[in-house]
Amino acid sequence: METAKTLKEKFGSPKNVNVEHRKRLSGLDKLALFVTQHIGTVGFFFMIFVWTVSWLSWNILAPRNLRFDPFPAFVLWLFISNCQDQTLAGDAKI
């Protein structure tokens, strides 16, 4: 049976596979990892909340000629997308 010393001489020092893999990631892979690691965080929730309130406020309170998504279209879209998410989640249950 080979000792740790002989194995180290034969194969070299052990490498951290996570570091090795991270070195090979493309820019798009790194962006995908960043997005997936941050969606679901409180910061992301607040960012989406502020965006939604801003969008809705602009399209309700701005002068009519500057509105680009008239009320209640955006609210209806939010409602329908939430219902669809709930329906899909319900279908996934066994």
pLDDT along the chain (94 residues), means of 10: 83 88 93 88 88 87 87 77 65 54
Q: What is the pLDDT of residue 93?
A: 54
Q: What is the pLDDT of residue 92?
A: 56
Residue ranges covered by each domain of the chain? 4-92
pTM above 0.75, yes or no: no
**42-55: b or e for each residue (b if 16 or more CB lie within 10 Å)?**
eeeeeeeeeeeeee
What is the C-alpha separation between 45 and 39, in angstroms, rounded? 8
Q: What is the pLDDT of residue 41?
A: 86
